[in-house]
Structure 1
């Protein structure tokens, strides 16, 4: 559905004319506020555009895309900047952080989120109604970017990917038209956006379903270095037979011995098992008993909690920093391979690499859209801080680590590719999905305006 009421001007607007049409801001490298506007959570890479449009409305996005098209400028988009891939030099950057409207329809169990809305905002708005979005571990991640990449939620095994719950998408395509697409209106574009949506337009808002969740049993079991090998073997065996209502991951972190680290983490190598379960606390206690039986915990934070406090399960960092990362989706895994991954990334590794293994399956294996490799059983994620670390060195280590579970590898996850990986992202989708995405790109952005 085309929502744009006006037509594009015949002549290319000047920068001053663009600024006059924008209710947000227009900035160039000489302007105060330019560096702040282009910055995001990912401090390792940052856009340096010729023009920034800090959009405050869908109309601002329309004007920005039309301006870029008429001047031959590539378009990039940023909300929080968590998943920044290819940093641009030149072109036009649309910053959507001002578009932060959230509307909850409790009766219909749906929400509308503007392009700048954070996942945590929707959790807060939905909680009074006993509802929740399908959100990830970090409340500071943008809803739109998270969802366009599929959106692996902390309750993913029970409710699937965030993109599975989208009812409608509002976006501006490369022709400068504002569209509202759904399963009934331009269904091929809608389908392409759900998991493969980056590069098909500038999404200005999403309507999506909410799930009836008020509380969860969740938290972390943290084990010391002497138990890491056993934890990994027990965790893999434990995930063989779990109810879909329980979603979990195990993380390995060799914390640096530096003054900036909290004293209780400094210089330690720890295994973190994260749990989110919508069943009763009593059932949760029984389910995690085999994990607790591994041995003494450095920390045990499992408890019954309101869903509004579910961000405490993973305790993701909130301070912007530089990082590069890769991922691999796996059809299976054995304990020896996982221990080999730990050996390559542990305290003796040449650089710090955070490892996380997500247990998939359940509802994640179902659904439509363009999410790739739904039949994967695990997701292995690698992330290295770049402060004082060469990107090439980080990627060399990541490649070595990815080689360990190669017999089970089926592809990558687009939401966990950090930095410009170029053609490597192609294996995020099976061939039929890649073909459909290419067809959508050819139809809606034939000149590749959004190739940034």
Structure 2
């Protein structure tokens, strides 16, 4: 008996159940199952197998996916239970939990998970795609590396528990292979003794991009692991939801997070604050529940397309090349181009989590164009052009959670890890039931 709800295209709730945060993702399956339990997921997968339907999964739908025209869509958004073990520094989260479901509960124990920039992002998808935190990442590493255990429904409808000792190959693969390997119904994650941080944003007029980027490079070159910075080149349209200060103009937004005493922040940020006149400075001590104020990501769903790569450094020639692409004289219309500083613990990858390829990487480059794909050919082309223009300083790999659907799933992995992922995929999903998901490690 299904505890959740099954919907066909004739049902009034069907379209909303297919639609995630990224409105550019087109999903029109034959059937949507809004699951409320692991047993529901098992039933949905079994039904799909019995009827020869490919399977896809969505929770919040922040990451764009390949179009889904048929098959069965498992929507796990109702599975948002959260259990926190304060003394054990662990939390168990359901498949549909968002960071706003988790962080307030862990904060009651003076603990914080390795979370994303937005509270509306799904915990499981964010974490299993790598989990690059704008606050805890450089200090504690990738979220995927701090997954303790997973409950996974495999392609034959079997519910398995996976950790470092039980079903260990599945455990390794799904932290990077995501739902192309199996559907996670629950995840146990590690928590960290962080209850406050110093963070916010520094905003500059885009005319000062050269000076701000140079200062960003200097500060990140020797930043302590407790300091995480990113810089975004913003050209946001004047539409509802965009702050008046940002709408319709070129602005640089330096995102700041320091897991350390507030007394240290002024010295660390001095080169940036002195680089150019500030439009706004929102950096202050903040409880862990206030993590969203660092990036101030939009809350309302929107259509967008993206591309990404990892860069080896931010030397003067890299800065000049980037400014030629997105600086004040570039003529670009790209809405967001961001550099996220990684390194620190993000570069110290444990042997159990090598699906995230960070060799020689110092920054993640991310380019975003807002608009429906059929109306945004120019913007989509520009996202790819920026990444291609910086290829001379790329590691050749990319961060999976920012990767587009461009037929190169292997680009997020090392050669050895991609081969291992393909072996696991073949073993657990020989009929390629999860063929609509990515990365899809099939030949």
Please confirm whether the aligned pair reaches a TM-score higher than 0.5, indicating the same fold: yes
Q: 1:413 aligns with which of 380, 399, 408?
A: 399
Query: Structure 1 residues 314, 261: closer, same or farther in 2, change over 3 A?
Result: closer
User: Which position in structure 1 is the counterpart of 2:441?
Assistant: none
Distance 1:26 1:431, change over 3 A: same
In the superposition, the TM-score normalised over structure 1's length comes to 0.92
Determine the structure 1 residue equivalent to 2:335.
353
CA separation in 2, counterparts of 1:176 and 1:260? Answer: 42
Partner of 1:450: 434
> Aligned runs of 1:50-61 on 2, under 5 Å?
50-61=30-41
1:180 corresponding residue in structure 2:
161
For 1:189 and 1:279, locate their aligned partners in 2 and report how far apart those are by CA, in whole Å.
37
Match of 2:281 among 296, 300, 310: 300
Partners of 2:45 and 2:157 within 8 A in 1:
yes
CA contact (8 A) 1:222 1:273 kept: yes
Q: CA deviation at 1:352?
A: 2.9
CA shift at 1:225, angstroms? 2.0
Supply the distance in 1 between the matched residues of 2:194 and 2:90 (Cα, whole angstroms): 13
The structure with the largest alpha-carbon Rg is 1
User: How far apart, CA to CA, are the structure 1 residues paired with 2:240 and 2:258?
Assistant: 36
- The number of residues matched between the two structures is 430
Residue correspondence of structure 1 range 116-131 to structure 2 within 5 A: 116-131=96-111
- What residue number does 2:28 align with? 48
Q: CA deviation at 1:76?
A: 0.2
After superposition, residues 275-294 of structure 1 pair within 5 angstroms as 275-294=256-275
Deviation at 1:451, TM superposition (A): 1.1
Counting only pairs closer than 5 Å after superposition, residues 148-227 of structure 1 correspond to structure 2 as: 148-154=128-134, 155-227=136-208
| 1:252 is aligned to 2:233 | yes
Structure 1, unmatched stretches of 5+, are 1-20
Deviation per residue, 1:149-181 (Å, 9 max, x gap): 111012200010111111100010001100010
- In 2, are the aligned partners of 1:412 and 1:425 still within 8 Å (CA)? no
Match of 1:15 in 2: none
Shift of 1:196: 2.7
Worse overlay, 306-315 or 249-258: 249-258
In structure 2, the CA distance between the partners of 1:340 and 1:61, relative to structure 1 (3 Å rule), is: same
Give the 3 Å change call, closer, same or farther, for CA 31–255 of structure 1 in structure 2: closer
Task: Output one character per residue of 1:280-306: Cα deviation in whole Å (capped at 9) or x when no partner.
Answer: 001112111111111220010110110
Cα contact 1:269–1:346 (8 A) shared by 2: no
Distance 1:125 1:136 in 2: 16
Partner in structure 2 of residue 4 of structure 1: none
Aligned CA RMSD, in angstroms, stands at 1.6
Contact 1:152/1:162, CA 8 A, preserved across alignment:
yes
Superposed displacement of residue 31, structure 1: 1.1
Q: How far is 1:264 from its partner?
A: 2.1
Q: 1:231 to 1:285 in 2, by over 3 A?
A: same
Structure 1 consecutive aligned stretches of length 4 or more whose deviation exceeds 6 Å = none
- 1:36 CA drift (Å): 1.1
Cα deviation code 1:210-242 (max 9, x no counterpart): 001000011111111221111011111221101
Listed as ranges, the gaps of 5+ residues in structure 2 are 437-443
Task: Provide the rounded CA distance (Å) in 2 between the counterparts of 1:413 and 1:69.
Answer: 32
